[in-house]
Amino acid sequence: METEPNSKAARPVWVLLVVRWPGGGIRTFMRYVYSRFPAQIYKFTLIAPDLPETQVLLDDLAGLRLTYCPVSGYPSAFEIAGTVFRLLRTGNFDLVHSHGFTSGTCAALPASLTRVPHLMTSHDVLGKRQFLGRTGLAKRIGMETAFSLIDTIQSVSHDAQANLLEFFPSLRDRCLVISNGIEVGRFQQAEPRNLHKELQVDEDCFLIGFLGRFMSQKGFVHLVNAVAQLAQSKGLHKKFLVVALGEGGFIREEKAALQERGLENLFRFLPFTPNVAGVIKGLDLVAMPSLWEACGLLAMETLICGTPLIASNCIGLREVVEDTPTVVVQAGDSNALAEGIQSCMLQDQRHRFVEYAPFAAQRYDVTITSSKIQDLICQMAG
């Protein structure tokens, strides 16, 4: 029996991507996961705000059959929901894949009304402060109502799913975990950047990396406090410098705070680069003093590069660094962070991380993640 040219079996799986915040971990996730989808089997339409981060994402996904449907730079929930509904009514989509709580909430009702299967990937964790008072209660009820319309909610770590179910236990039957992964080859094959030469500092200067957005959850303030403590340490006779690579958030405020404290000479800020592998390999230590994470991709990247890592034991990050050589410190404890950094400076630990790198490559390979998500999409799309 011949297949009709316009039948579902003859055409690719058409996925509507909904992305309210196209930066940080969401952009990295999409680049790592979707770039492994065979272009002859899938095509995508992307709803995302008209921002520079979206253009970077589009460049990352250039190998896919993808159509971009822009919304305003800072769209309201109604604008996103309306755009989703319009496309679902006029298109022939097999699945909606939303990324993040806001995107999932906005796409939930339109997908339900048009009876298009809806997969939401959760990229963040929730905190009790978000649901305080009457406004918080209304937000909680609204989110739970929207999430109950979503067919499947995929969390990127077991910690993230446990956090979600702590606030919305009624969602248990529609939740699953597909752990995050990264592009192993990109980090294994990268050549180290000669940061000492770029920054014009002595070769014996110990370079500490901070990579990420300058948001409170990333714990940059605790790194600053630790640096201030190290600068006053009488037992430390080694030069050091923090190399900050990131964007967005409160970067201007953080720079101003460093000047007020007289610490600006101990920090250097590098411009954003979409490929951080060479930077990671050029550092002596990567610091992740996060207060919470859904899943710490930077930790995976650092461990595959064989670069020493110091990380907090916060939710989401502790799961990633468990059973690795990572120096783990209490989240939010600047003193513990300072002591951990000092121990790494005084005793070279790189050999331990280099030895672990091949095991990290097997453990965090995104090929596994991408394959599982493809299977899930095909199953949901029928």
Please tell me the distance from the alpha carbon of residue 86 to that of residue 370, in angstroms, as a whole number.
Answer: 29
Q: What is the CA radius of gyration of the chain?
A: 22
Average pLDDT over residues 5-16: 71
Q: Is the pLDDT of residue 2 over 70?
A: no
| β-pair type (152-155, 267-270) | unpaired
Please tell me the distance from the alpha carbon of residue 22 to that of residue 300, in angstroms, as a whole number.
Answer: 21
Q: Is the pLDDT of residue 89 over 60?
A: yes
CATH for 185-363 (3.40.50.2000, 3.50.50.60, 3.40.50.720, 3.40.50.150): 3.40.50.2000
CATH for 13-181+366-381 (3.40.50.2000, 3.30.70.2190, 3.40.605.10, 3.40.1650.10): 3.40.50.2000
Residue pair 228/262 in contact (Cβ under 8 Å)? The answer is: no
Please tell me the distance from the alpha carbon of residue 283 to that of residue 307, in angstroms, as a whole number.
Answer: 7
Q: Is the pLDDT of residue 329 over 60?
A: yes
Residue intervals of the chain classified under CATH 3.40.50.2000 are 13-181+366-381, 185-363
State the burial class of residue 162 (Cβ atoms within 10 Å of its Cβ: 0-12, 13-18, 19+): middle
Provide the pLDDT confidence category of residue 111 given band limits of 50, 70 and 90: very high
pLDDT digits (tens, 9 = 90+) for 263-276: 889 999 888 776 78
Provide the pLDDT confidence category of residue 376 given band limits of 50, 70 and 90: very high
Average pLDDT over residues 25-30: 90
Please tell me the distance from the alpha carbon of residue 317 to that of residue 330, in angstroms, as a whole number.
Answer: 12
Please tell me the distance from the alpha carbon of residue 194 to that of residue 278, in angstroms, as a whole number.
Answer: 9
Q: Is the pLDDT of residue 5 over 70?
A: no
| Token digits of residue 266 | 């101990």
Q: Which residues pair with 69 in a beta bridge?
A: 47
